[in-house]
Structure 1
């Protein structure tokens, strides 16, 4: 009977997850992943993933699928609860990411990786970037746009990018503190309050009225 390849595959994924989270996606070599996984040479990684980018794709894929499922479930609950309330819709965007802080080491490590990839998109291939953005956020943001008709599409698009980056960075910073053993009082608020406050900030950023100055910024000068 042929040996089960899954344990080796899992060791490589876990080793890469730890290294990418601790050192940054761009700072980890294929050889370093192999060593950390306890493998003798790079043949194991090549066999399972082809290359370093393949390991990264696998990490992103398994996490994005979970995020998408959670976001769409929360979005369904929001739609059933109210046809117009904004906060539960934005919570569907924010909570699945922020709750990774309260998960296991793999969840917190993925937060570091997610923040790294979204903050430095040139560090990954187009395929990886596309996978990162398939975590259910576009579906949620379409509902945000429907419930926020007074914000022009171009402004809402930029606000969405800013909110996504802010939430990712805030959750990543908290996750790193937990991973490094920071005492509970260092975080100033409980996980539940941290998430609720993130949702508050995201709602405010997405829905605040557009100022006359912003609306007039691209207008041609008067006579």
Structure 2
């Protein structure tokens, strides 16, 4: 890896960590210093803007997660399952298995500021899994199913961030189980 690539990776690591810990408004100068850069303009040199830096952090983490989700989804397709727990594993486990200890918290901080959602491309596994989950929810009302799937996605990022904060203490399957329970809970009108 050349010096420029190492510098860029160090900036991405520092941005992910500092934004997760201190918030969106962390000065770019602090990110450059945390990355070992003497030049306070290093972020602008490598990424042009704060927005491009955010997008680069997401892009770097997204590809490995989506490759793992594709692999897991392929195994599900072979078994032709619509098991909610299995589908939740496809969404959750790649996020929880990242080497990073700051990415889920980073997403919580910047989620509303991203140009695009981290998973909104039609080429990713994310929308296919959400669609499958929507069809697997045992509720007839389509609006309720969509609302539950959206709530689960929000809860997933919050639970993943807490998992990071606790230094990965706890069983990822517990998170899968909690999220699956949210999707499959009996509708209040039926209780």
Instruction: Indicate whether the TM-score tops 0.5.
Output: yes
Q: Does 1:145 align with 2:138?
A: no
More displaced stretch, 140-149 vs 164-173? 140-149
The list of structure 1 runs, each at least 4 consecutive aligned residues, that deviate by more than 6 angstroms after superposition, is none
Structure-2 change in CA distance of 1:148 and 1:173 (3 Å): closer
Structure 1 residue runs of 5 or longer lacking an equivalent are 180-186, 215-223
Structure-2 change in CA distance of 1:174 and 1:12 (3 Å): same
Contact 1:112 1:172 in 2 (8 A): yes
> How many residues in Structure 1 have an aligned counterpart in Structure 2?
188
**2 CA distance for matches of 1:98 and 1:40?**
33
Larger Rg: 1
Aligned CA RMSD, in angstroms, stands at: 2.5
**1 CA distance for matches of 2:68 and 2:47?**
27
Structure-2 change in CA distance of 1:73 and 1:109 (3 Å): same
Residues 75-120 of structure 1: CA deviation (Å, up to 9, x unaligned): 12112124343321222122222333xxx3xx221121122234xx
TM-score, with length taken from structure 1: 0.73
Structure 2 residue runs of 5 or longer lacking an equivalent are none
Q: CA deviation at 1:28?
A: 0.9
TM-score, with length taken from structure 2: 0.84
Q: Does 1:136 align with 2:125?
A: yes
**2 CA distance for matches of 1:16 and 1:83?**
39
**2 CA distance for matches of 1:131 and 1:199?**
20
Tell me the residue number matched to 2:64.
Answer: 66
Contact 2:32 2:43 in 1 (8 A): yes
